[in-house]
Amino acid sequence: MAYNRYITGILPDQNYRFILGSLTDVALEVGAVLHASVPVTALLGESMLAAFFLAGHNEKAKRTVVGIDMQCNGPVRKILSFASSDGIVRSFCSSPDASWDGSIYEGKKNGLFTVNRFVEENRKVYSSSVEMHDLPLEKNVEEYLGRSDQKLGFIRMESTIQNGVVVDISGFSFEALPGASMQDSERVLEMIRNMSPADMVHGLIADGDGERREFSSSLSHVKILKTGSFEYRCDCSKEKIEKVLLAMGRQSIEELVEEKGHVEVFCEFCRKRYEFQPSEIYNLFQSDED
């Protein structure tokens, strides 16, 4: 059974914060919109999950949006994924029909890994980049946390493909809180070694009702803080497209109108089509000049 849920909470005795999530249904929806191959769909799902982990661990803001920009030397070339701390996600791949042999992460290989954080409270964007290695995406996110945020975190993500179909994309993220000891980290690591993301996520999601319960016999009870559902949503609009056209300049846009008779724009994330007739283009630039 596919899940589309997340849970956040803390391990009070270990001073660790955690996020568990499965967004199989959302990843399949994104893959269908982009006409993505099976491995690309799985990689997009993992990248959205990774962005959600980074957004959800921002304890200083009520709502944070994180964008992960991967400039890849692998066949996918570029992946851009966004997630908000309340589970709104979207993703884009410049080569959605790419395919390759081997593990999911081999589609990206190495390159540049950039994280952009948008904090709604102060409307500021924080951006930082690290080298992306030819390793599973979770390892690159862990390295980012250590280098850019100076935080100790353990992230695991798992995509399951059966008979050429993505049947599950699950993951978990554990982040040390101030006061966490080496022993605390060792106990969390011991649990991670003994449980797959799918087992941990689906086991707790199936039972999660906000009460305290156990991950395993090796750890104390957990305190569940929040549960929710992932949602695929694009925030494109005609007004935003108009701003893009204005930024391109009147001459460039009028040349397009002369060549094609109108201007047609497709959103990279949701593939929604926006069409502007010559009169609309004239009024757009006229009102901007006024």
206-254 pLDDT, tens per residue? 554 444 455 555 555 778 888 899 999 998 888 888 888 888 888 888 8
Top-confidence residue, 274 or 120: 274
- pLDDT tens sequence across 98-116: 999 889 999 999 999 999 9
Do strands 88-93 and 231-232 pair parallel, antiparallel, or not at all (unpaired)? parallel
pLDDT recorded at residue 145: 86
Name the band, by pLDDT with cuts 50, 70 and 90, for residue 290.
low
Checking if the pLDDT of 70 tops 50, the result is yes
Average confidence (pLDDT) over 26-43 = 96
In the prediction, which pLDDT does 25 show? 94
Percent of the chain with pLDDT over 70: 89
Domain boundaries, the chain: 4-232, 238-289
Residue 21 has pLDDT above 60, yes or no: yes
**Span 238-289: which CATH code?**
3.90.1280.10
For 55, 237, 246, the CA distances from 151, given in Å and listed in that order, are: 14, 37, 41
| pLDDT surpasses 90 at 191 | no
Is the pLDDT confidence value at 131 over 70?
Answer: yes
pLDDT at 202 over 80: no
The arrangement of secondary structure in 4-232, i.e. its CATH architecture, is 3-Layer(bab) Sandwich (3.55)
Within 8 A by CB and 6+ apart from 186, the residues are none
Residues paired with 79 in a beta bridge: 70, 93
List, for residues 72-101, the tens digit of each pLDDT value. 999 999 999 999 999 999 999 999 999 998
Identify the pLDDT of residue 153. 87
Mean of the per-residue pLDDT values of the chain: 86
Q: Is 100 exposed, middle or buried (0-12, 13-18, 19+ CB in 10 A)?
A: middle
d(CA 204, CA 95): 35
Tell me whether strands 64-72 and 78-84 are parallel, antiparallel or unpaired: antiparallel
Q: What is the pLDDT of residue 211?
A: 44
The pLDDT assigned to 89 comes to 96
Cα gap 156→136, rounded to integer Å: 9
